[in-house]
Amino acid sequence: MLVAPVLIFLGFFFAYPMYEGLRLSIWDDEAVLPLREGPSLKDSESGRLSQGVTVEVLGRQGNLLTDADATDLLTETWFRVAVTQPDGTTVDGWAPESRIRVREEGPDGTPLSGTVRPKLGEPDDPRTTLRDGPGEGGTEVAFVEPRAPAAIVEVAILEVWFNVRGTDPGESAQGWAPSRFIQVFGDEVTGRIDRGSAGEFTTEFIKKMFNDRFFDPAWRTTLLLLVLIIPAQFALALLMSLVIHARLKFNSWFLYVFTIPMGMSDLAVGTLFFSVFTGNGLLNSVLEGLGIIDSPHVFLSSQTRNWIILAIVVAEIWRSTSIVMVILVSGLQAIPDENLEAAELFGASYWQRVRYVMLPLLRPSVQVALILRTILALQVFAVVIALGGGDTVTVLTNETFRQYADFRNNNVAAAYALFVMVLSLASAFFYLRTVRTDTEIER
Amino acid sequence: MSEIVVERASKSFGSKVAIDDVSLTVDDGEFLVLLGPSGCGKTTLLRAIAGLGMVDSGRITIDGRDVTYVPAGNRKISMVFQSYAIFPHMSVRNNIGFGLRMSKTPKEVIQERVEEAASLLHIEELLDRKPSAMSGGQRQRVAVARALAMKAEVLLMDEPLSNLDALLRLEMRAELKRLLAEVNATTIYVTHDQIEALSMGDRVAVMKEGVLQQVDHPTVVYEDPSNEFVGGFIGNPPMNFIDGVVRQDKGRLAVELAGQKLTVGSALPALRAYGGKPIRLGIRAENMEAVQSPVSDGLKVRVEVVEPLGAQNLLTVTLLSAGSDAQPMKVSTHPTFGVTVGEQLWIRFPSHQIRWIDPQTQEVLSSG
Amino acid sequence: MTERKFDVLLPLDSSEVQRLHRNMKRRANRGRVWTYLGAGLIVLWILVPLFFLTSMAFTTREAVRSYPKSVLPFIPFSTDTVRFFLDQPGVVDGLWNSLIVAIITLLLSTILAAPAGYAIARYIFPGRDLVRLGILAVRAFPIVVLSIPLAVFFLRAGIFDSLYSLAFMHTALTMPTSVLIIASVFASVPHELEEAGQVFGASALQSFWHIVLPLALPGIAASSIFAFVLSWNEVFAAGVLTLENRTLPALLLVQLQQSSDAYQFAGGFFLMAPSIVFMFFIRNYLFNMWSQVTK
């Protein structure tokens, strides 16, 4: 009961996005366009065509606009008019805009009145049909003479629906669909399904990701960073935790300083090391001060990819070693002092004690730390951007961001995210298997 | 050869003095027990000898070599820890052979020694098991085996039996004694259990609050304690202490105890100096003689509690003449001694069994 | 007591023996010297870059641009760079936004996590281990996977680019950690205290309020601060989910390429400063969290 709010919140803001994120990567929301029996959403489905299929346009009809925000529509405007017939009677009905010539407009452009246009090309019956409602589907109410005066009472915007026929590899389908989904070519008899309104499972996005020209450099760099950073920082973290374990004087101050990087945002660290490695930064100043170089060495530029990688490695080690250290220190504290005293008494030197007693008993902690750090390292982002600009050196997370922000392709972005997740799970699984721990460590 | 000499060792933890100017010699091959209540400094002393907690001042020599500040690993000693300190991630075999592995002993030697130690402790079947699946008693054997495998000249043991249940403790006590007699290393054994101390040691060193009280053969410590503390700490039940005043009675010495006079037979010369002064009388429960009919050399007492303990009846008595501040005494009788609560008895105090204690210094007056 | 002395051994209080003991002590402490050295090196490794950033933030812009940078810090000392930074468009807003989001995250995270932490610590209910495991899983989850769909969802729901929605997301990220820390804090308060309170007539709620809560408050405060720091520092989701109302990290991220050194240094300083202060207060509680995890 007490746990409920947490679970609800997490379910909402975590489980749902997680599901959505995965879904976005493998589900194309606009893959298929359902065709209907008639030009209305209420009509039943008569078939489906995939996005991109060429179609023949068999007919068109206006339909009340259901979605005011839709884009790429073809629209028709219909007027409800009160027409004064030559015989003096007034008839009321709807006619398309093309049949009424607007002569008077209101101050804001609203058409107020006009006359009925003659129907060209039909000398036998030049009258215009009025219907009971907007759209060709309405029943005929009256026929009005050309040039009869008409007062425009109401305006309705209709979306044009097309009756199309096309062949999806294997099956052909025919039916009506709103114009916003169909692109009609100039000849007005052929067209193409621009996008669908129903989704289907697809590996398109994933394939797109694999073929994306940034994919290769991104995942290679990510893995390279992993291989360079993790072993180095675990060694450093071990040394740091041994220092803390030794309980020197000022131990709590050492601990505080050692954990400061944990509290810093990765962007801040990126900026920090940018200031170190940049042209007129700390490193160059020190090197020149020591006389090692004469002029500033360029570390961070599009030509010095390897230096940038090195800078990222240094920055990441600086930033993220603390959390490994915290885990290892907890593990070390769990080792009973008498075990280490016994080892010492029986002749083990300090490093023998580290190797034969501390490290084996640290295996569970190392496993946890490896899993956590690898998952976090796969998501390295801000440091890379700060030091490499995202182009010379790019990583998977950066590509996710690029797909989302620059290319506006949420689906491929989601595919990248999915890839990161798969790698994370795979690595966790790998560590659980290879870094074997004793199931029972006695007290 | 592997004699241990502690000279004037002192160590404090902050303001608390753990051991105070302790000097002690353990002869080669001797089994010395460090005995005392918790906090008396025995473990501190042992750890200082081991090299796990160095002294602040003083000197420790092993085999003539000054090892006062030498790290534990270089002292050529072996130890059994109170919590056993078995490495949970290693097999029993690797645990026992740990010290030998660290000193880079050849593999065959290690194997031989490990198996030898395991057979001494009867744990051969456990050799390839992990400690997590073993009982406390088994783990304790592994700890002892590990120490023995080193074949060190000095063996230190920090309360090795205290974590075992009573029955196991009894068994292991005998087994350890036999085993360690064979091994013949100079052994220092720390315990708070005075029965263990008396049963196992060649000599017992009693400590209290960081100060060495007495170092002697168990029987001497038992029968001739050097002070009140030792007398009261050793023995079950503890020694009885009764306060009185020394009086001259017709040329002979007597002690007045709660109004009753006890004539002292072969009196200690030292006692004469206490004429008219307060004295404390110490005597053990089993050394007092309980008589149901009046005797002239006995004191009249009232029986307060009768505890039939099977092998003896333990009576709690008070001097009849004493008032509300009566000091209770424990008297041991044969189990067939029929007595009831409230009954009056006469207790004889054989002179040679009495230990006279100066109430102020708490020292036992020596007979010499 | 027998006392035997070897002829070879010199008396204890002789100067030779004293010297010998001094040498022995020195030899034994040699290892510690190396340890202090190592510790010192690591401290330098961590502090030097921070020091540099701070001194750059608090100096004139010319000094920032100059090269080579002088070794002496804070010369000349000036708030020029900081003021320049604060004058930039969007910066003060960014600071303000970051603060608001972080505070909301702090409050939400703590309020929601506290009952859950209490429940996990005190009661054994079905699915308890699953909940703990789930919470751990959340912590390890790629934020990347979450941000994009949340952005889409917020867009559709009309609450995109709002500080509240970002705060919600940050809360989702920090809640697991808060729950774990608070659970371990409550677990460390002995149950007997609550029961004792009830024996003396307090209701369960009173017992909790007057006895348990004051004891748990420091730990709860620590977890709130941790949530604050996490939110303040968070950059990826902030970059994805905000547009007009950017938090400071998001702002800096977007401006990264075209901004001057001075801008970046001052910005880095503002990102870094609160964290350092807060880490000081919560450093002790970090271990509680992990001792629970490595069970």
Q: Do A21 and C145 touch (CB under 8 A)?
A: yes
Neighbours of chain B (3+ CB pairs under 8 A): A, C
At B281, give phi and psi (nearest 5°).
-105, 130
Q: Do B66 and C20 touch (CB under 8 A)?
A: yes
Nearest to B64 among C1, C6, C17 (CB): C6
Distance, in angstroms, between C221 CA and closest chain A CA?
Answer: 16
pLDDT at C66: 65
- Chain C within 8 Å of B65 (Cβ-Cβ)? no
Top-tier CATH class for A209-434: mainly alpha
Distance, in angstroms, between A38 CA and closest chain C CA?
Answer: 30
Helix axes C91-122 and C128-139, enclosed angle (nearest 10): 160
pLDDT at C292: 47
Distance, in angstroms, between A338 CA and closest chain B CA?
Answer: 6
At A43, give phi and psi (nearest 5°).
-75, 155
pLDDT at B208: 93
Region of poorest pLDDT, from A110-114, B44-48, B72-76: A110-114
pLDDT at A443 over 60: no
Distance, in angstroms, between A330 CA and closest chain B CA?
Answer: 18
pLDDT at A2: 65
pLDDT at C7 over 60: no
pLDDT at A67: 64
Nearest to C3 among B25, B61, B68 (CB): B25
Q: CA–CA separation, B301 vs B303, rounded Å?
A: 7
What ipTM did this prediction achieve? Answer: 0.84
For tokens 């080579």, what's the residue?
C68
- Under 8 Å CB-to-CB from C228, ≥6 apart: which residues? C102, C103, C105, C106, C274, C278
Residue type, B306: V
Report the mean per-residue pLDDT for chain C.
76
Q: How many Å is the Cα radius of gyration of chain A?
A: 35
- Under 8 Å CB-to-CB from B83, ≥6 apart: which residues? A336, A338, B163
Q: Do C148 and A365 touch (CB under 8 A)?
A: no
Alpha helices per DSSP H over A38-101: none
Distance, in angstroms, between B146 CA and closest chain A CA?
Answer: 9
Q: Confidence class of residue C285 from pLDDT cuts 50, 70 and 90?
A: low
- Chain B within 8 Å of C294 (Cβ-Cβ)? no
Nearest to C175 among A6, A263, A266 (CB): A6
CATH number for the segment(s) C88-293: 1.10.3720.10
For residue C87, give Cα distances in angstroms to A243, A272, C84, C254, C291: 44, 21, 5, 17, 45
Helix axes A215-245 and A396-405, enclosed angle (nearest 10): 130
Q: CA–CA separation, A125 vs A323, rounded Å?
A: 86
* Most confident stretch, A432-436, C78-82, C223-227: C223-227
Q: Strand B65-66 to strand B57-62: parallel, antiparallel, or no bridges (unpaired)?
A: antiparallel
Residues of chain B found within 8 Å of residue A361, distances taken between Cβ atoms: 88-89
The closest of A231, A239, A246, A225 to A310, measured between CA atoms, is A225
The closest of A176, A215, A206, A217 to A55, measured between CA atoms, is A176
**CB pairs below 8 Å between A and B: how many?**
69
Region A363-379: mean pLDDT is: 88
Q: CA–CA separation, C284 vs C185, rounded Å?
A: 12
Provide the 10 A C-beta neighbour count for residue B29.
16
pLDDT at A17 over 90: no
Please give the residue of chain C at the shortest CA–CA distance from A237: C42
Distance, in angstroms, between A359 CA and closest chain B CA?
Answer: 10
Please give the residue of chain B at the shortest CA–CA distance from C4: B25
Q: CA–CA separation, A161 vs A166, rounded Å?
A: 15
Query: Where does residue A435 rank: exposed (0-12), middle (13-18), buried (19+ CB within 10 A)?
Result: middle
- Chain C within 8 Å of B134 (Cβ-Cβ)? no
The token pair that represents A405 in the structure block: 């922000």
* Most confident stretch, A76-80, B358-362, C134-138: B358-362
pLDDT digits (tens, 9 = 90+) for C122-178: 777 666 667 666 766 666 666 777 777 777 777 777 777 777 888 888 888 888 778
Please give the residue of chain B at the shortest CA–CA distance from A344: B73
Region of poorest pLDDT, from A293-297, A408-412, B228-232, C126-130: C126-130
pLDDT digits (tens, 9 = 90+) for A186-245: 787 888 888 877 777 777 788 888 888 888 888 888 999 999 999 999 999 999 999 999
Q: How far apart are the first and last CA of chain C?
A: 53
Report the mean per-residue pLDDT for chain A.
82
- Chain B within 8 Å of C1 (Cβ-Cβ)? yes
Rounded to the nearest 5 degrees, what angle is found at the Cα of A222, between the Cα atoms of A221 and A223? 90
Neighbours of chain A (3+ CB pairs under 8 A): B, C
pLDDT digits (tens, 9 = 90+) for B111-154: 999 999 999 999 999 899 899 888 888 999 999 999 999 999 99
**Which of C126 and B311 is assigned the larger pLDDT?**
B311
Annotated domain spans of chain B = 4-233, 240-357
Q: Do C12 and B8 touch (CB under 8 A)?
A: yes
Annotated domain spans of chain A = 26-197, 209-434
Residues of chain B found within 8 Å of residue A346, distances taken between Cβ atoms: 73, 78, 98-99, 102, 146, 150
Interface of C with A in 105-144 (CB under 8 A): 112-113, 115-116, 118-120, 125, 131, 134, 138, 140-144
A48: which strand partners?
A: A34
pLDDT at A231: 94
**Which of A194 and C107 is assigned the larger pLDDT?**
C107
Q: Do A21 and C70 touch (CB under 8 A)?
A: no
Q: Do C1 and B25 touch (CB under 8 A)?
A: yes
Nearest to C143 among A254, A379, A404 (CB): A379
pLDDT at B140: 93
Region C236-262: mean pLDDT is: 75
Neighbours of chain C (3+ CB pairs under 8 A): A, B
Question: Taking an 8 Å Cβ-Cβ cutoff, which residues of chain B contact chain A?
Answer: 50-52, 71-73, 77-79, 81-83, 85-90, 98-99, 102-103, 130-133, 146, 150
Distance, in angstroms, between A280 CA and closest chain B CA?
Answer: 51
pLDDT at A352: 93
The token pair that represents C275 in the structure block: 């964290």
Residues of chain C found within 8 Å of residue A3, distances taken between Cβ atoms: 115-116, 119-120, 125, 131
- Chain A within 8 Å of C258 (Cβ-Cβ)? no
- Under 8 Å CB-to-CB from B228, ≥6 apart: which residues? B241, B280, B282, B357, B362, B363, B364
Please give the CATH superfamily to which domain B4-233 belongs.
Answer: P-loop containing nucleotide triphosphate hydrolases (3.40.50.300)
- Chain C within 8 Å of B5 (Cβ-Cβ)? yes
Q: Do C280 and A21 touch (CB under 8 A)?
A: no
Residues of chain C found within 8 Å of residue B8, distances taken between Cβ atoms: 12
pLDDT at C2 over 50: no
Q: Do B88 and A361 touch (CB under 8 A)?
A: yes
pLDDT at A313: 93
For residue A414, give Cα distances in angstroms to A397, A404, A420, C143, C160: 11, 9, 10, 12, 18
**Which of A62 and B120 is assigned the larger pLDDT?**
B120
- Under 8 Å CB-to-CB from A78, ≥6 apart: which residues? A62, A94, A95, A96, A97, A134, A135, A155, A156, A157, A158
Q: Do B69 and C21 touch (CB under 8 A)?
A: yes
Nearest to B73 among A339, A344, A357 (CB): A344
For residue A293, give Cα distances in angstroms to A87, A288, A289, A296: 103, 5, 8, 7
pLDDT-above-70 percentage for chain A: 95
Residues of chain C found within 8 Å of residue A29, distances taken between Cβ atoms: none
Q: CA–CA separation, B177 vs A115, rounded Å?
A: 127
Among A338, A340, A341, A346, the strongest candidate for a mutation testing the B interface, having the largest count of B CBs within 10 A, is A346
Q: Which CATH number applies to B240-357: 1.20.120.790, 2.40.50.140, 2.120.10.10, 2.30.42.10?
A: 2.40.50.140
pTM: 0.81
pLDDT-above-90 percentage for chain B: 54
